[in-house]
Amino acid sequence: MSYITKQIAAAFMASAIGLASVPVQAQTPPDTLIQAWQIDDVISLDPAEVFEFTASEVLGNSYQPLVGYDVKDVSDIFGVIAESWEVSEDGKTFTFTIKPGLQFASGNPITAADPVFSLQRAVKLDKSPAFILTQFGLNAENVDQMVRQTGDMTMELEMDKAYAPTLLLYCLTATVGFVVDKELVMSHEADGDFGYEWLKTNYAGSGAFTIRDWRANEVIVLERNENFSGDASPMARAIYRHIPEGSTQRLLLEKGDIDIARNLGAEEIIALADNADIKIEDGIKGSIYYMGLNQKNENLMKPEVREAMKYLVDYATIADTIMKGKVKVHQAFLPEGFLGALNDNPYALNVEKAKELLAAADLPDGFTVTMDTRNTPEITAMAEAIQQTMADAGIKMELIPGDGQQTLTKYRARNHDIYIGRWGPDYQDPHTNADTFARNPDNGDDAASKPLAWRNAWDIPEMTKQADAAVLEKDAKARADMYIALQQEHQKVSPFVIMFQEIEVLGIRKDVNGFIIGPSFNDNSFRQVTKSE
């Protein structure tokens, strides 16, 4: 070994030993909010492409939509970039007037040209979330006519049918409807891509924060937008750090290395509850945990078996133990908080009843079945618990774990027996879930759209008609009743064992206040977060 190597080695050893006596205690800077979160799902920062939880939240704090809603009462819809809107006589055309005097972080003023461009761009780029807009009859060819600027500060949006007005408004609150800075984006256009390559990793919005940096699987850094039209955020900087494990997040939170932990497990929540430096805050989310029973399976296609399965999940125990604090029992496809949500939970673990039903289905000794299980700790733990209660009624359930893409590939090819998963609504209107749980316009193997009903090969022409009727109903009360009726029927006969609704839980340092947990991730806001000393 050379002399120099020895020197370096000696220095290293000395400092490593020296450190051993100094306890490491970190503190986050007072003007910076630091959150630990599993952010590996971020694949883009472009509102026309973003569809993932984390990126939605980042955009929710850095971009603005035309309209928004009160996170405490989603039926209260108000303008954000739009000042007002009108619906035409035939219910097919919306006219929006833009608030005067707004500007983007770049300093460019916001005019009607920007939202028009943003919507046209999203439709033409046709990325994953584009269907939220194209379901109104928009496509790359007609969008220039259907979404049009009619004045400096006015624009019109025309649809192919007279949908329930709230449907469009809610869809515009989704990230795909966020308004981008036309001038800035187009200055980075290459090969007619509407600035897509650039905006994937850059920022062109008008929200309370600007996005300064995103390093995949490492960090997202936001900085205060000094040109923001609302009240300036007290925090100069907000950082998301990629920490996948809840136990690690908890340690960092306890040590004061981070301000907020976002992926705490049930055990971490319980442990942190006793810590005086930390508070736990939660809010109900729209995501639903369910099992899908493939109707191509000769056992699962029997109505009695479908019903028996609903009696073989110990909903209450799972919600009180493995998933304590993270879910509440919920058994209908519309989550609590949505228009027309059904909050009845008629099913509980009842092995005797299930056995009777199985006997009626000529399966008194049960049967063997597989369940594709995403290999996240929580889904796996739930699946294992369900596996045990199923076994009590003689159903031998074999788990087939896989990563997200793998189980999904199989699910979409309808090659599963049972799939256990989580479904999050795409926007705040009840149609988002009705569309997937209760509509299946074409049950053929090569169908163009693959809603959850299709994936489980559940052919439901009647229910599809009812869901189609509900989306055109203008009266909110009548519409809510239609959805409730739909869910009651669905709860009885569907091949979906809907089990839980998700609760988002945050572990927060005591001195951090003002984080708002909304019903969807782009409603989560740290705009008003303050730190007291």
Binders of another protein among residues 369 to 408 (CB under 8 A) are 375, 377, 380-381, 383-385, 387-388, 391, 399-406, 408
Give the range of 251-259, 360-368, 462-470, 503-511 binding another protein by CB under 8 A: 251-259
258 touches another protein (CB under 8 A): yes
239 near another protein (CB under 8 A): yes
Determine the Cα–Cα distance for residues 400 and 380; give it in Å rounded to an integer.
10
Q: How many CB atoms lie under 10 A from the CB of residue 422?
A: 14
Give yes or no for a contact between 95 and 154, defined as CB atoms under 8 angstroms apart.
yes
Beta bridge partners of 87: 94
- Cα–Cα dist 272/253, whole Å: 9
Question: What DSSP line would sit under 44-103, residue for residue?
Answer: ---TTT--SHHHHHHHHTT---SEEEETTEEEEEEESSEEEEEE-TTS-EEEEEEPTT-B
| Contact between 5 and another protein per CB under 8 A | yes
Task: Name the one range near another protein by CB under 8 A: 235-243, 302-310, 344-352, 463-471.
Answer: 235-243
Residue 131 CB, shortest distance to another protein, in Å, is 5
- Annotate 117-180 with three-state secondary structure: HHHHHHHHHCCHHHHHHHCCCCCCCCHHHHEEECCCCEEEEECCCCCCHHHHHHHHHCHHHCCC
User: Closest separation between CB of residue 11 and another protein, Å?
Assistant: 10
Site for another protein (CB under 8 A): which residue of 34, 169, 184, 238? Answer: 34
- Under the binding rule (CB under 8 A), the answer on residue 280 touching another protein is no
Closest to 139 measured CA to CA, from 125, 153, 152, 155: 125
Which residue number, 105 or 318, has a Cβ lying nearer to another protein?
318
How far, in Å, CA of 215 to CA of 487, rounded? 42
> Taking CB under 8 A as the rule, does residue 23 contact another protein?
yes
Select 150 or 321, whichever has its Cβ closest to another protein: 321
Q: Does 314 bind another protein (CB under 8 A)?
A: yes
Cβ distance to another protein smaller for residue 158 or 254: 254
Among 144, 409, 488, 510, binds another protein (CB under 8 A): 409
The reply to whether 235 sits near another protein by the rule CB under 8 A is no
Residue among 109 and 402 whose Cβ is closer to another protein: 402
Site for another protein in 157-216 (CB under 8 A): 200-201, 215-216
Residue 377 Cβ, how far from another protein at the closest point, in Å? 6
**C-beta of 265 vs 340, nearer to another protein:** 265
Q: Is 275 in the site for another protein (CB under 8 A)?
A: no
Are 282 and 400 a contacting pair, CB within 8 Å?
A: no
Which lies closer to another protein via its Cβ, residue 51 or residue 136?
51
Q: Identify the CA nearest to 256 among candidates 509, 36, 30, 35.
A: 509
Binding of another protein by 236 (CB under 8 A):
no
Q: Least distance to another protein from the beta carbon of 32, Å?
A: 8
Considering beta carbons, is residue 320 or 489 the nearer one to another protein?
A: 320
Q: Which two tokens stand for residue 144?
A: 């220039």
Contact region with another protein (CB under 8 A), list: 23-31, 223-231, 326-334, 482-490:
23-31
Kindly calculate the radius of gyration of the chain based on its CA atoms and give it in whole angstroms.
25
Secondary structure (H, E, C), 319-358: HHCCCCCCEEECCCCCCCCCCCCCCCCCCCCCHHHHHHHH
Total residues contacting another protein by CB under 8 A comes to 87
